[in-house]
Structure 1
Amino acid sequence: MNALLDAPRRLISLGQWAVTLALCAFLIVPVVMSVMAGLTVNYFRGISSGLTLRWLEQVWTQYRPSVFLSLEVALATLAITLVIGVPAAYALARSKTRMARLVEELLVLPIALPGLASALALIVVYGGFTAFRTSAAFIVVGHVVFTLPFMVRAVAAVAASADLRTLEEGAASLGATFWQRFTTIVLPNLKPGIVAGALAVVTLSIGEFNLTWMLHTPDTKTLPVGLADTYASLRIEIGSAYTIVFFLMTMPLLIAMQWLGVDVTGQRALRGRARSRR
């Protein structure tokens, strides 16, 4: 009887694995093919034409400034969204008024708009300031507008579930100042949301193309803009080699931030277990 019941379960499990592996192959195979194209002498002849690092060297020589500019823009965007987004999320989570909910919805508005529309709005308003318009700071502003909602939402969600008001009232009754409460109670409890928001901000900033394409100038090309240029005007091997450089620059950062997020989550779970035992 048990064998008869286990048979359908095994079939369902095998089917789930088959679908999962098929989806992974659907997503990973194009990436692998693109990487291989950047390492072959001739893409159309395939690996039989031989392997080479010439295309990587050419991309690095020609587009190295774009790589570092993207990292600078992403880090600047992260710093600004942390300074603005964390206090804003904290205030929105504590406030129960309709005005706070309205402000929260307005912060999400840039996500609903196409990146090109947001970029055009920035150009219309600030395009007259030539020095600002032609600097990387203009791209940073656009990225902050686009990524700030992700930081605010991530931190606000954690703040709303942590019952910070009760913890702060307890600390205040013991004589703690606002700054002491914010640094020793609020920020440690918001850390999972801050890490999640930081991950979203960095990845979105590095990979954002539509908004950046409208805001960039010939002197402020970021990784995605340079990648589009290589595929549009050069050999496919060059574009594929640029993709490899993109992966090499972004994957270590993403892995490090993912590890930090898992570590933070694990520490939070351990603290929760310790409290429950008490």
Structure 2
Amino acid sequence: MTGPIVRDGVAHAPSRVVRTLILGAIGLLFAIPFVAMVEFTLRKGLAGGHDFSRWIALFQGGLTGPYRQVLVAVGNSVGLAVGTVLIVLLLLVPAMLLVHIRFPRLRRVLEFVCILPISIPAIVLVVGLAPVYSVLSRIAGSGVWTLSLAYGIIVLPYAYRAIQANLDAVDVRTLSEAARTLGAGWGSVLLRVLLPNLRRGLLAGAFIAVAVVLGEFTIASLLSRVNLQTALVVVSKADPYTAVILSLLSLILAFLLLLLIGRLGAERTRSPRHRPIGGRP
């Protein structure tokens, strides 16, 4: 009997034609809304036809005047994204590693706690967070940075799954024990042994956190904070065409961020250096 058909190193991998058709269908599915948004921004209105007058006016104005709040909102969203990623990396990752290495029996408990926020509607979450934020505002102020605490909760399910998938593929316990046997401290084990092996999961979790923060509206609106999505809603009430243009630009920014993170997460293969036997390079 013959073994399974292997293409490109993967058993039962689809042919190139099938992969092209699948990727083409997915690309078309994503392209249709983008094309519709671009066409909407190019309309002249009742006069008919298309032109780039709205795009030119927006860039010539430099997002000043009524659109200046969008720049402030973008800065707020970027700061919230950085804060949320730091919360995930500094709190969630060490907790997952500690449970995986020292307390494996608590894995189900940690998984339940991290997955729980996905089952709670955002408006219910805000009702529970409102008393907490009222106390927090009296202690630390009511700056927009406080939203990162709530965002750190809502991204837990997505970041946990991304990191846990990478964690299951790496023998973390053996790596840590080997490093400790060679005399490495826990700081070196974490920074020089474990984190490099979890790079893909960490980057995936970071991107998911950034994507959730850039697209979140409900919590920011109900807690009266200004981020990108709340600013776009305000702009859309005055000029829907400009709001769609700004939405397109934010989607392009997120897409470029995805490509950047994918590039950083790609494994760097080094070509082997051949040395003559018994000689010098």
Shared fold per TM-score greater than 0.5: yes
Q: How does 1:195-214 map to 2 (within 5 A)?
A: 195-214=203-222
One of 44, 47, 50 as aligned partner of 1:42: 44
Conserved 8 A contact 1:81-1:148: yes
| Rounded Cα–Cα distance in structure 1 between residues aligned with 2:134 and 2:229 | 22
Q: Which string of whole-angstrom CA distances, capped at 9 and with x for unpartnered residues, describes residues 232-253 of structure 1?
A: x123212212213323543332
Conserved 8 A contact 2:117-2:156: no
One of 244, 251, 256 as aligned partner of 2:248: 244
Q: Does 1:93 align with 2:100?
A: yes
Q: Which structure has more RCO (C-alpha within 8 Å, separation ≥ 6)?
A: 1
What is the CA-CA distance between 1:70 and the residue it aligns to? Answer: 0.9
Q: Which string of whole-angstrom CA distances, capped at 9 and with x for unpartnered residues, describes residues 82-116 of structure 1?
A: 11121012123224544331122112111121122
RMSD of the alignment, in Å?
3.0
Q: Does 1:29 align with 2:49?
A: no
SS at structure 1 position matched to 2:200 = helix
| Rounded Cα–Cα distance in structure 1 between residues aligned with 2:43 and 2:23 | 34
Conserved 8 A contact 2:117-2:154: yes
Name the counterpart of 1:224: 229
Conserved 8 A contact 2:34-2:248: no
Q: Which string of whole-angstrom CA distances, capped at 9 and with x for unpartnered residues, describes residues 45-104 of structure 1?
A: 554456342245568222211111111111111112111121012123224544331122
Conserved 8 A contact 1:41-1:51: no
Conserved 8 A contact 1:55-1:237: no
One of 45, 70, 76 as aligned partner of 1:69: 76
| Rounded Cα–Cα distance in structure 1 between residues aligned with 2:62 and 2:241 | 10
Identity %: 24
Conserved 8 A contact 1:154-1:197: yes
One of 26, 50, 53 as aligned partner of 1:51: 53
Name the counterpart of 2:181: 173
Give ranges in structure 1 of 5+ residues lacking alignment.
1-11, 274-278
Conserved 8 A contact 1:203-1:254: no
Conserved 8 A contact 2:176-2:189: yes
What is the CA-CA distance between 1:34 and the residue it aligns to? Answer: 1.2
| Rounded Cα–Cα distance in structure 2 between residues aligned with 1:171 and 1:20 | 42
SS at structure 2 position matched to 1:183 = helix
Name the counterpart of 1:142: 150
Specify whether residues 176 and 227 from structure 1 end up closer, same or farther in structure 2 by C-alpha distance, changes over 3 A only. same
Give the number of equivalent residue pairs. Answer: 251
One of 124, 127, 132 as aligned partner of 1:120: 127
| Rounded Cα–Cα distance in structure 2 between residues aligned with 1:222 and 1:152 | 25
Q: Does 1:256 align with 2:260?
A: yes
Deviates more, 1:186-195 or 1:91-100: 91-100
| Rounded Cα–Cα distance in structure 1 between residues aligned with 2:197 and 2:22 | 38
TM-score w.r.t. length of structure 1: 0.77
SS at structure 2 position matched to 1:175 = coil
Give ranges in structure 2 of 5+ residues lacking alignment.
1-14, 273-281
SS at structure 2 position matched to 1:127 = helix
TM-score w.r.t. length of structure 2: 0.76
Name the counterpart of 1:234: 238
| Rounded Cα–Cα distance in structure 2 between residues aligned with 1:175 and 1:128 | 46
